[in-house]
Amino acid sequence: MSEQTDDETGAGADAGARALRITVARSGGVAGMSPSWTVTAEGENDVDGWLDLVESCPWDAGDAGDPDGADRIVYTIRVLVQAPEVEGERDARVPEQQLTGPWRDLVDRVKAEAAPRPRRAKR
């Protein structure tokens, strides 16, 4: 059902189908690394399962701004949906201090279900 992809949407390929793609990107942090996780869903049951979670997030709450201090993590969440009853694209920037409730549930589920990139044997 889900996989980690860089460029494939998995959504919108068929105009009549229900499909969804969610990308969570992390930036900031003392390590300065920017990992990202992507899941795609197709079919009514899969898409609706994700949409319930997506719709529960406070997308209209506005940007909370940058937190105090330094080396804090910020999540960027992007959802692409192909379904008759919802708009096609949503974006949010969520500092880790605001990553609670449904935001936290969404990010945790995307990270858990995005397949990890395989690590080759050490050279």
Partner 1 sequence: MAHSIVPPYLLARLAETDAEGLQRAALAARRSLAADPPLRAERQREGVFVPSSVVLDAAEPGMASFTGLAGVTEPQRTISDAEGRERLPGTVVRRETDGPVDDVAVNEAYDGLGATHALLLEAFGRASIDGLGLPLDATVHYGEDYDNAFWDGERMVFGDGDGEVFGRFTASLSVIGHELAHGVTQYTAGLVYEGQSGALNESFSDVIGALVEQHRLGQTAGEAGWLIGEGLFTAAVEGRALRSMIEPGTAYDDDVLGRDPQPADMAGYIETADDNGGVHLNSGIPNRAFALAARAVGGFAWEGVGAVWYDAMTGPLDERSDFAAFAEATLVASDARFGAGSEVSSAIAEAWRTVGVRSDERAD
Binding-site member from 6, 16, 62, 70 for partner 1 (CB under 8 A): 70
- 6 part of the interface to partner 1, by CB under 8 A: no
Q: Which is nearer to partner 1, 90 or 111 (CB)?
A: 111
Stretch that binds partner 1, among 9-17, 32-40, 42-50, 55-63 (CB under 8 A): 32-40
Nearest 5°: the CA angle 107, 88, 90 is: 40
Least CB distance from residue 117 to partner 1, whole Å? 5
Rule CB under 8 A: which residues touch partner 1? 25, 27-35, 66-74, 76, 96, 116-120, 122-123
